[in-house]
Structure 1
Amino acid sequence: MAVPALVGQKKDVGRLKLLLPDLQPQSNFCLLFHYRLAGNKVGKLRVFVKNSNSALAWEKTRSADERWKTGKIQLDPEMDTPKSIIFEAERGKGKTGEIAVDGVLLVSGLCPGGLLSVDG
């Protein structure tokens, strides 16, 4: 998914919704993905985990480093079994750059070091 800053208006939103197969309840899962926020005032990238409700699990705004980075979200086995993952890119004021997501993986088990946990 790539959302360029060149088109649209401030606060426009692009969404990518990934439907999850029937996951094993009470199991650990790790969501891994690559992301990039490049450009001046490009906007925000958010990740929501949807089960019985939608919870904001992760959010980033542009940093000085515009290289691709890896995002990790540990899905807590105590929460309801996730039904979908939603990536949301919100356009900022900038006229150049992009918000991009690539290589999304949902793996069984704990995230490798330095994890970010999502509670139910």
Structure 2
Amino acid sequence: MPKPLPAKPAVPAPRQGIRLAGSASSRLTIKPSPPTGPRPQLQLSTKVRPSGPRPLSQVELDEDEVLIDGFDAVLRDEKVRVTAVLERTCVYVDRAGDRRLARKEDLWVEADKLPIRRRGLS
């Protein structure tokens, strides 16, 4: 009489992982940064700017000034809402609600009405 086959375990044995050379050193660990305290406060800029429409690229900011996004501008005779200010371009929302990119020289603004803040010293 032949021997009965041994019963297979219900759960397969775990496989050993494949270890590639250098894989241990290439793991990414994200550590929380140490607490740095509150963010610097922003104060209204007191610098007087000329009134009248001009390209956003011609609005000069001091080194400690920041243009806060969320203001209106005119792009090709259409009023748009600027939501982010980058180095040479801005992100705006068109009438359809789509976000688009425009060059600062194409966006016309009233320089004396822009939300410009001065970084506080802290």
TM-score (norm 1): 0.29
Which structure has the highest strand share of the two?
Answer: 1
Larger radius of gyration: 2
Which structure has the highest helix share of the two?
Answer: 2
